[in-house]
Amino acid sequence: MLGKGLNRGANMPLLFFFRSICIGVGVMLMTACSSHSPPSDFYAGGYLADRGVVRLWRKDDVQQHVTTLMTVYSPHQGQNTQITHSRFQQGTVREIQQSKSGPPKEETRLRFDANGTVSYMQRQFPEHRESLSEDEIALYQFDAKRMLELSDALRVGNIQLKQGIWQNNQVMTCNGQLVRPDLDRSSLSWIAQRRQHSTGVLSIAWLESPEGSQLLLVVNTDFCRWEPTAKTIDMWE
């Protein structure tokens, strides 16, 4: 459903900026706490991982102290896209649902009580189910918390994820805006090559920040068909 894409072109200042974010998460979170402008309730960001691209969407319900996080990992090679939904209560992970497109396809669900004890778990494969070990459960909890902290840092750094349909050197974003991304020449050349050898829809995903722009993905599928919004990000159960 999400498709596979290739990353080409890198705005190095943005990459260096993200690395500094990863190193200084604690410092930046302290900065965020002292900021006069509160963060938005809904945020979309992302980054380049070692072997793929991570895109994330986050919604904060301040009154209920609930944070919902959706992450999509798209590998540079292969088809095993990984989609993870996590729900946090006062910063503690309470629910995780992860699907992998495979092969083989895999879906994992975990629920936790307020003390972090597992109240429900299931790992589903096409032909059978498996239980999870204590170490595997702990790793899921660790990864969920790590992604929440990374989303904090990305939001503080004002790194914004944009997605849309490529149309005549412009992009119709998923929220209906026609924009011209400020991408480097290498990235634009790669998009042009994909457009020349593609038929139908061509979607791109990129990052914008004060340090520059970064192309993440170019794929022959419509990102806007599934991109979550503030109204739909909770609808994953």
Q: Give this prediction's pTM.
A: 0.84
pLDDT of residue 103: 85
pLDDT value of position 11: 39
Closest listed residue to residue 6, CA positions, set 56, 76, 53, 79: 76
Q: Is the pLDDT of residue 10 over 80?
A: no
Q: How many CB atoms lie within 10 A of CB 56?
A: 22
Higher-scoring residue by pLDDT: 142, 20:
142
Which strand ranges, in their side-by-side order, compose the sheet holding 203-209?
A: 178-179, 170-173, 160-167, 203-209, 212-219
Q: Is the pLDDT at 79 greater than 50, yes or no?
A: yes
CA distance 84 to 93: 13
97: tokens are 């649902």
Nearest Cα neighbor of 44 from 205, 181, 193, 167 is: 205
- In DSSP notation, 179-199 reads E-----HHHHHHHHHHHHT--
- In whole angstroms, how far apart are CA 68 and each of 64, 131, 139, 144, 229? 11, 25, 19, 11, 11
Q: Where are the domains of the chain?
A: 42-219
Closest CA to 153 of 1, 21, 2: 21
Classify strands 118-124 and 160-167 as parallel, antiparallel or unpaired: unpaired
pLDDT digits (tens, 9 = 90+) for 177-200: 999 999 999 999 999 999 999 889
pLDDT in tens, 11-52: 344 554 455 444 444 434 444 444 445 667 999 999 999 899
